[in-house]
Amino acid sequence: MTKKLIECVPNFSEGRNMDIIKQITNQIESVEGVQLLDIDPGKATNRTVVTFVGEPEPVIEAALLAMKKAAELIDMRQHQGEHPRFGATDVCPLVPISGVSMEETVVYAQKLAKRAGEELQIPIYLYESAASRPERKNLASVRAGQYEGLAAKLKNPDWKPDAGPAEFNESVQKSGVTAVGARDFLIAYNINLNTTSVRRANAVAFDVREAGRTATRKGKVLRDKEGNALRKAGKLKAVKGIGWYIEEYGVCQVSMNLTDIKVTPFHTAFEAVCDSANSRGMRVTGSELVGLVPLKV
């Protein structure tokens, strides 16, 4: 019988203090049956992506211990970084690896969310395949407003958390909230440009990402009959992207999430950014992976 294996990829809102990061990852390594695969801190984003794998129950236990330690050590009231975030453990997705279906992984994500809400008193939103309603599937929608917008968000009945406390007390909830999900492999990939202009980097991101950009004509936003802004789609399906400036490199990047590598493979995304950058008078000077990728990539 094939052993059930799932991967967990929590993102913690600390990328500069290695002592804090080590205390969190020590909790993961303390759980028997779990293997820590990768720790990828980012100074400019002030965020660390951790990857570990194991059978479902040990993975849930390790995730809970890490979330608890992050809540103790990370104060979101003081957090600053380039990456959108709303919690000490910002996201905690589970990924089916072998012997387990996405439907089963959703059940494990729900179990993790319930335990984190009850035992750690952290408000939890479920996203991607584990989302409790369609508007919560997209992480960007769930995280809209970031940590600073939580007080207002939690007062809105439409954004009541799926688990944990539904009210916001800053002194108690200095660790914010967490999005727990079930999803397929996601590749986080950043491409360097020879520019320091975030505006120009965003122009490239808008060219390639699926959501594209707001449609305009002669400087005016185009709208449909209901008044909603129309959008001009980007070149690549299953790709999210933004432009940002990375101080430690002294350049801007196009930061992308490839959410389905069967639809848009790794090399296709790289070539599309190169083409867009060249057409706009820039060039690609390097790139970096965040975390791990499947061997087949």
> Nearest 5°: phi and psi at 64?
-65, -45
Nearest to 189 by CA among 233, 251, 240: 240
pLDDT per residue of the chain (297 residues) written in tens, 0 to 9: 678 999 999 999 999 999 999 999 999 999 999 999 999 999 999 999 999 999 999 999 999 999 999 999 999 999 999 999 999 999 999 999 999 999 999 999 999 999 999 999 999 999 999 999 999 999 999 999 999 999 999 999 999 999 999 888 776 679 999 999 999 988 999 999 999 999 999 999 999 999 999 988 888 888 888 888 888 999 999 999 999 999 889 999 999 999 988 899 989 999 999 999 999 999 999 999 988 888 887
Tell me the per-residue pLDDT of 197-241, one tens digit each, with 9 for 90 and over: 999 999 999 999 999 999 888 888 888 888 888 889 999 999 999
The question of whether 79 is a catalytic residue gets the answer no
Measured at the alpha carbon of residue 232, what is the angle toward residues 297 and 135, in degrees to the nearest 5?
70
From 69, 79, 83, 115, the catalytic residue: 83
Structure pTM? 0.87
